[in-house]
Amino acid sequence: MENPKKTKKITLMCRLSHSVILMKNIIFLTSFLAFGAFVNAQNAPTAGKCPSKYAANKCDAGACVADSCGPMIKLAVNGLEKEAVAETTKVTLGAIAGINNCSTCVKFGTVIVKYNADKIKVADIEKAVAKNGLKVVGHKTDFKVKGLACQSCSNHLTSILGKTNGVVNVDKVCHMSGIVAITFDAKKTDNETLKSSIHNTKYRVIEAKKEATAATAPQS
């Protein structure tokens, strides 16, 4: 005849053993999933954070790699009077390795290119534009400026920038919006030099919080 106390003790021991095994499996599975999540987080691109050399540009959400962040240039071109030419230019440039995105504007005669600086140089982008029958007359950039209190201030700054080395044209200086738009020769000047020219006056450039158009450094 079985001893009830002994049988109960064995049953409790079995249940305890099963509970311990179950707990170990749960701990192992939890640790495995946590490790997998950690690895994925380390490998996944981080929205809004770029490699240091692209720090001035924000990335598209979830795609922070050199192919989606990096610099952007806005080229002023002659010959972009027809939509067909604009579309052909956009498609042709978009197919070139290193160019991530290209848009064109017939109204303002501009070609805007977002590119990977590790794969293509600005000079090569300009050559590609020229192959489409267009002439690059300069790079475009704009600043938000404070201190432009009236039309006289706008005229004053327009005059100063117009005399600055490398400036092809002062497209716009608006005291109402504070926008200063410039077309410049990237072989002679760049964004920082133009910004310094503004700071040499009583006006000040307001640093953009959103993605800015990156001007090209002077090229030899």
Q: What is the model's pLDDT at position 2?
A: 52
159 confidence band (pLDDT: 50, 70, 90): very high
What is the average per-residue pLDDT within 100-127? 92
- What residues pair up with 172 in beta bridges, in sequence order? 181
Contact 108, 78 (CB under 8 A): no
Residue 5 has pLDDT above 60, yes or no: no
First to last CA, the chain: 102
Q: Is the pLDDT of residue 177 over 50?
A: yes
pLDDT > 60? residue 63: no
Looking at residues 155-163, what average pLDDT do you find? 94
Domains assigned to the chain: 140-220 (3.30.70.100)
**Mean pLDDT for the stretch of residues 34-43:** 54
pTM above 0.75, yes or no: no
Per-residue pLDDT at 10: 56
Alpha-carbon distance of 115 to 93, in angstroms, equals 10
